[in-house]
């Protein structure tokens, strides 16, 4: 197991490299609006050389996308790296990443959704603390909000433990206990589909004694059921110290073209059936995914969960001065 490596915190005046490890981002106007918003944190955005390339549903070739990450980790004038969006394709570039460069040049790296594949691989290969948090396109004024901005600032521009992750504003989905209890351990997780896809690969998730969190978007309950059973049969659920289910956005049966016209379970029933059968604490509903709000979580550091009160607290600092 790699020794945990913590990146330097970001400071006003620093530079954030913006890359596209997965799908292409088509709006340059959105890019410039997001860059202007990042200035409010004192951070300058710099686009990757291949940022605007397009190859079907990918942002350029696999080598193009990997080269951007390798270059940003190696450049001394880039202090942090942020994915412009998720989509699909980050797992395809893993074989082209230079792990020695990343290990020797630890930096803040931020993203979520498809970027989960990169978080898992960097943890396994390097042991670098990375951040499951907003993508750059969410910095544009029409998408960002105080919850996103304050969570990001507190996570990557501060060398103290983040503390308790605040719940979403009242209009967002509620939290509830699946299994009561408390747990402590390193925090791991990300998008459920990417976690499941990583099983059987060199970068599959290690949940032993850890707090596992996951989130998902746009998947019908039977798909969630299948992915959770895959993790269960691989031993990944019962090995965890506890489970935090982030907001699962739009994970309902299709109304006009359901996969099963005989009826369906709802998401809460799936969670109760699979996670509720485990003898470990678990709760649902923190804003950790594809909803209007998204918290920024440092991966790999020690955390504590209280499933009675639906709280997740980061106990260990994620960055260094």
Question: How high is the pLDDT of residue 214?
Answer: 97
Is there a single domain that holds both residue 241 and residue 200?
yes
Portion of the chain with pLDDT greater than 70, in percent: 97
Segment 104-111 shows an average pLDDT of: 98
pLDDT band at 253 (very low <50, low <70, confident <90, very high): confident
Residues marked active site are found at 113, 215, 290
- On the question of pLDDT at 101 being above 90, the answer is yes
CATH number at residue 292: 3.50.30.60
Segment 273-282 shows an average pLDDT of: 97
pLDDT band at 180 (very low <50, low <70, confident <90, very high): very high
d(CA 59, CA 196): 23
pLDDT band at 3 (very low <50, low <70, confident <90, very high): confident
Question: How high is the pLDDT of residue 258?
Answer: 66
- On the question of pLDDT at 170 being above 80, the answer is no
- Better-predicted residue by pLDDT, 317 or 29: 317
The whole-angstrom distance between residue 273's C-alpha and the CA centroid of its chain comes to: 25
User: Is residue 7 domain-resident?
Assistant: no
User: Is residue 59 domain-resident?
Assistant: yes
- On the question of pLDDT at 129 being above 80, the answer is yes
Is there a single domain that holds both residue 167 and residue 309?
yes
Is there a single domain that holds both residue 144 and residue 186?
no
pTM comes to 0.95
Contact 103, 267 (CB under 8 A): no
User: Is residue 4 domain-resident?
Assistant: no
Contact 57, 90 (CB under 8 A): no
Host domain of residue 57: 15-156
């Amino acid at each position: 197991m790699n020794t945990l490596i913590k990146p330097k915190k970001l400071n006003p005046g620093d530079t954030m490299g913006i890359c596209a490890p997965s799908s292409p981002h088509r709006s340059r106007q959105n890019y410039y609006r997001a860059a202007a918003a990042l200035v409010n944190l004192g951070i300058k955005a710099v686009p990757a050389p291949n940022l605007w390339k397009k190859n079907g549903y990918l942002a350029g070739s696999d080598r193009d996308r990997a080269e951007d990450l390798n270059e940003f980790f190696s450049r001394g004038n880039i202090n942090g790296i942020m994915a412009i969006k998720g989509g699909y394709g980050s797992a395809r570039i893993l074989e082209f990443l230079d792990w020695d460069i990343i290990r020797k040049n630890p930096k803040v790296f931020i993203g979520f959704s498809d970027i989960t594949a990169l978080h898992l691989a960097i943890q396994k290969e390097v042991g670098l603390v990375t951040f499951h948090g907003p993508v750059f396109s969410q910095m544009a004024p029409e998408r960002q909000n105080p919850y996103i901005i304050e969570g990001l600032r507190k996570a990557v521009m501060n060398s103290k433990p983040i503390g308790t992750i605040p719940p979403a504003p009242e209009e967002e989905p509620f939290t509830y206990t699946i299994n009561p209890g408390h747990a402590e351990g390193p925090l791991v997780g990300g998008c459920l589909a990417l976690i499941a896809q990583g099983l059987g690969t060199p970068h599959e998730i290690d949940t032993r004694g850890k707090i596992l969190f996951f989130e998902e978007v746009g998947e019908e309950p039977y798909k969630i059921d299948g992915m959770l059973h895959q993790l269960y049969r691989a031993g990944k659920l019962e090995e965890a110290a506890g489970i935090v289910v982030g907001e699962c956005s739009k994970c309902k049966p299709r109304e006009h073209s359901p996969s099963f016209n005989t009826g369906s379970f709802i998401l809460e029933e799936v969670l109760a059936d699979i996670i509720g059968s485990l003898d470990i604490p678990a709760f649902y509903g923190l804003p950790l995914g594809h909803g209007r709000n998204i918290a920024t979580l440092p991966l790999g550091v020690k955390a504590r969960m209280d499933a009675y009160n639906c709280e997740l607290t980061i106990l260990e600092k994620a960055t260094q001065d």
